[in-house]
Structure 1
Amino acid sequence: MELIRLTTRLTLFAGFLALTALLAGILLLVDAPFRSRIDRAPFARLCFNGASRCLGFRVSTQGTFSDRPVLYVSNHISWSDIPVLGGMVPMRFLSKAEVGRWPVIGWLAKQAGTLFIQRGSGKAGQARAEIAGTLLRGQSVLVFPEGTTTAGVTVLPFHSRLLHAAMDAGADIQPISIAYLRNGHPDHLAPFIGDDEFQLHLARMLRQPAIEVGVIAHPVVAIGEDSDMSAISRELQRTVQEGLWKIQAGGLTDRGTATPTAVAGPEI
């Protein structure tokens, strides 16, 4: 059964990536004669949502995402955080530079407008300026202020430097909590940590039954010119941590407060 499930999902996922690559290529061709770039956000959201379905995620959400450009901050468990969250609301991502070098996925991430940062390169200032510029152009951005992925049972302290981009752009911040559950408990396969390789991690996830993903969009936090970003960073971390615990305490659908947004097709 695991082999059948893995083969079916890999086929669906590969086929969907091919269609997404075709769409990205068409958009590039359309851009050329007009010497302008079509907004990728609506197309990226559609593709991210489709990828979540192909991966077999059963996603439930609580809360409302902002209808204005904001800096989203979330805990970070896996590469799959991006298709899950990207399928919910138009946004651009800040990702580690290594993702940009992944076959196919990296190219697609660039076409979706992902901002990349080289970890430990001392270029956080440049990333902060790019995020602020993106916000000023009316596009929301998601960052993972823990700076790394975790096992999904706690939330590490948030680094505040990139959060200053919200203040630079006069934008607010909206915290998000995400958690992966299997049989009502934190899933141990979803975390993408250490020296794990994308292809092996993908295969391990796809051979298992559908995974439940809980997402909480917390209230927006207003940012002013005189805001203490260090204090706000600590408060955001606490909010996201409490949301993670809330999801793990029983799952959002069990509490009757969730709205399914990206439920997979027939379980395989």
Structure 2
Amino acid sequence: MDVPAITLAGWVRVLWRGALFGGVVYGCLAILLMVRVVERPLFGLRRPWTPWITQFVCKSAFVILRLPLVVRGRVMRQRGAVVANHVSWLDIFALNAAQRGYFVAKSEVEHWAAIGWLARATGTVFIARKGAEAKKQQAVFEERLRAGHHLMFFPEGTSTDAVRVLPFKSTLFAAFWSHGLEEVMWIQPVTLAYRAPAGCDPRFYGWWGDMEFAGHLLMVLAQGRQGRVEVVFHDPVPVDAFPDRKALAAHCEAEVRRGLEGRL
């Protein structure tokens, strides 16, 4: 998809939205880091305070962009993880605005300029794609899940064009079949549905392939009349209701795919 040319009015929106957005993100990051200095020695892995700051920032992002965010369904109360389709960098804000949790991201993200720093500060779990790291990663997952964290990840493994769901990879689901975790863990499928602005390409909010982050960010900031984002929470399911990770991944994929088709 070609990024449309930005008009003069669009550049004005880029400047004021970008300044406000950056001020909120980095201003609240400074507050979060100060709160974490007290929170960490008192609660360790548990974070009873700082996720509220993250959620405030993410809700504010949609207000600044004037992009309506609609949340349907209920966030699960059980211990476990959320799995969703992956459309754009906006997914991070949408899911964190709708609930308080911690993302699972590829290890490369940790070293991205600005984004890696934010991800580390907000408690993101970084994973390597090397097989040798599997045991270590599983131990990290266990530790975070037993601490009561809701982990959030994208089983497609990459972002898409907003109008389709790619097959879910079952690899990450294996972490829930270890040391009895399957007996206490639940998984909640979530559909992220983006409706493009009137008259725009249906894939407007999709960020995929070789699209540059900066160009896509500018396009969204410049847009006058935005579309809409829907976060649909499906019914959570217990991990031990499925014979293996592949069956669980297939169920989650079907729920997310059904949710997207219903919204489109």
Q: Does 1:179 align with 2:189?
A: no
SS of the residue 2:172 aligns to? coil
1:95 aligns with 2:105: yes
Q: Which whole-Å deviations, capped at 9, do the CAs of 1:105-155 have from their partners, x for residues lacking one?
A: 32121111001123x433344333322321111111011111111112211
Trace 1:102-251 onto structure 2 (pairs within 5 A): 102-118=112-128, 120-122=129-131, 123-168=133-178, 169=181, 170-183=184-197, 187-208=202-223, 209-224=225-240, 227-248=243-264
Please tell me whether the aligned partners of residues 77 and 192 of structure 1 are also in contact (alpha carbons under 8 angstroms): yes
Match of 2:55 in 1: 45
SS in structure 2 of the partner of residue 108 of structure 1: helix
The 3 A distance-change label for structure 1 pair 127 and 52 is: farther
Equivalent residue, structure 2, for 1:72: 82
AA in 2 matched with 1:49: K
Report SS of the residue matched to 1:162.
helix
Q: Distance in 2 between matches of 1:219 and 1:141?
A: 16
In structure 1, the residue matched to 2:4 is none
> Partners of 2:155 and 2:194 in 1: how far apart?
19
Local SS of the residue matching 2:240: coil
8 Å CA contact 1:127–1:162 kept in 2: the answer is no
CA distance in 2, matches of 1:2, 1:70: 42
| Whole-angstrom CA distance in 1 between matches of 2:169 and 2:40 | 39
Give 1:17's aligned residue: 25
Q: Distance in 2 between matches of 1:42 and 1:16?
A: 14
Task: Determine the structure 2 residue equivalent to 1:30.
Answer: 38
CA distance, structure 1, for counterparts of residue 186 and residue 42 of structure 2: 34
Q: 1:231 to 1:186 in 2, by over 3 A?
A: farther
> Measured at CA, do residues 108 and 98 of structure 1 come closer, stay the same or move farther in structure 2, by a change above 3 Å?
same
Amino acid at match of 2:84: S
Q: Which runs of 5+ in 2 are unaligned?
A: 1-8
Using a 3 Å threshold, how does the CA distance of structure 1 residues 189 and 183 change in structure 2: closer, same or farther?
Answer: closer
State the SS of the aligned residue for 1:139. coil
- CA root-mean-square deviation: 2.3
Deviations 1:227-266 (CA, angstroms, capped at 9, x unpaired): 2321221121111001011111xxxxxxxxxxxxxxxxxx
Tell me the SS of whatever aligns to 1:72. strand
The structure in which a higher percent of residues are helix is 2
TM-score normalised by length of structure 1: 0.83
**Alpha-carbon shift at residue 35 of structure 1 (Å):** 9.2
Could you tell me the TM-score, scaled by structure 2's length? Answer: 0.84
CA contact (8 A) 1:167 1:225 kept: no
Tell me the distance in 1 between the aligned counterparts of 2:13 and 2:94. Answer: 20
Partner SS, residue 64 of structure 1: coil
Identity %: 30
Conserved in 1, the CA contact under 8 Å of 2:98 and 2:231?
no
